[in-house]
Amino acid sequence: MRRIVMFNRVSADGCFSAADGGLDWVVPEPALDREAARSLGDADAILFGRRTYEMFESFWPRALDGDSPDAEDPHAPGRRSPELHAMAKWIDDVEKVVFSRTRKEVAWSNSRLLHGIDPAEIEAMKAGPGKDMMIFGSGSVVSELTRHGLIDEYQLVVSPVLLGSGRTLLTEPPAGRELVLAEAKSYPSGNVMLRYLRPE
Amino acid sequence: MRRIVMFNRVSADGCFSAADGGLDWVVPEPALDREAARSLGDADAILFGRRTYEMFESFWPRALDGDSPDAEDPHAPGRRSPELHAMAKWIDDVEKVVFSRTRKEVAWSNSRLLHGIDPAEIEAMKAGPGKDMMIFGSGSVVSELTRHGLIDEYQLVVSPVLLGSGRTLLTEPPAGRELVLAEAKSYPSGNVMLRYLRPE
């Protein structure tokens, strides 16, 4: 059975996104980037909300181009990061499913547009062939899938910052409240990865 | 210098309080209660918002009474919990400072009423004699003290639950965004204690 795995950054005071929608508050952590690059092989699809898809679409194809400044390691300008390139290549290759009521089409390679979230359709995707499916950002998709109990793992990276205002991760009641803590791991940057599983 | 230490429970999806204000979502953890009981001696005052003060006022004096059902260990009904009794005794003994615009007086032993938060007054309290000052709950007090950079340590216990809706910890921009992670510790119940310090 394919699993749906969500990965998101949150602030210590519980915000999933800042009031201005920006991500400049995220505290970088090279060790996390390396671990993420190593685990990419476990998944072969990404589920997107429209906004996150468009953000990814504007960044990652250029990061794949070795001559682009976007291919530089954001933590070490001028250096080409192997993790960044591996991530860009993986994102380009995998199936990208975009949930949007307003987009008419999607042009990025291996992208597919769905006009809404149909739980039965998601269940069928999970029962079909393939590896895990990832979600990055995409708060509305996370909320709606959680309402139907369809997310199997929540990976929350807590940055050591206070935002004071912003949105929480979910906007709808979850199918079930309880989670099972699988891991709590801290990093030199002060980031903490909290990994939760949906109970069986 | 006395420090101000905040202790609060939050959900995995970043809520400090549920939409209904209730606390039935908090996952209990006896090991945390024992550690809290052991560290009570480091503090000799509590800063309160009105609502949390009134909640404490309605519960803890009765828990101090050994014959009251409230003195029973909530995790083992019928058993008198030494941690609960130590906590009740400590709360009764320490100075309780209540910030409220509407209360006219406070009758609970060692309580003192202040009609608003004056940063200079808080600074003077910190510079005066005594041990650390704790804050439990009291979201509005946490928010306002954070806006003035007056909280020295944030202890957040993340329960392994999704609430889907609720309030985040802060409602105002903090004096500074950055925190220093001091500890990330997980417990058998799936709770995780995240302890942050304000940068020097």
* pTM of structure: 0.93
CATH number for the domain that contains residue A78: 3.40.430.10
Q: Are the beta carbons of B179 and A156 separated by less than 8 Å?
A: no
pLDDT of residue A76: 61
In tens, the pLDDT along B81-133 reads 777 888 899 999 999 999 999 999 999 999 999 999 999 999 999 999 999 99
Kindly tell me if the per-residue pLDDT of B80 is higher than 80: no
Q: What does the block give as tokens for B157?
A: 């216990």
Greater pLDDT, A86 or A121? A121
Other CB atoms closer than 10 Å to residue B181's CB: what's the count?
Answer: 21
pLDDT at position B97: 98
Percent of chain A with pLDDT over 90: 76
ipTM: 0.92
Q: What range defines the domain where residue B84 resides? A: 4-197
**CB-hemisphere CA count at 13 Å for B116?**
3
Per-residue pLDDT at B8: 96
Q: Which residue has the higher pLDDT, A76 or A102?
A: A102
Q: Does A170 touch chain B (CB under 8 A)?
A: yes
Residue numbers of B between 135 and 164 with CB closer than 8 Å to A: 143, 146-147, 154, 156, 158, 160-164
Q: How far apart are the first and last CA of chain A?
A: 13
Degrees to nearest 5, angle at CA A81 with A191 and A159: 10
Beta bridge partners of A99: A49, A114
Could you give the number of structural domains in chain B?
1
CB nearest to B12's CB, from A173, A190, A196: A196
Interface contact B164-A181, CB threshold 8 A: no
Per residue in B159-196, pLDDT (tens digit) is: 999 999 888 999 999 999 999 999 999 999 999 999 99
Model confidence pLDDT, tens digit, residues A159-191: 999 999 889 999 999 999 999 999 999 999 999
With CB atoms and an 8 Å threshold, state whether B177 touches A163: yes
Shortest distance, CA B77 to any CA of chain A (angstroms): 23
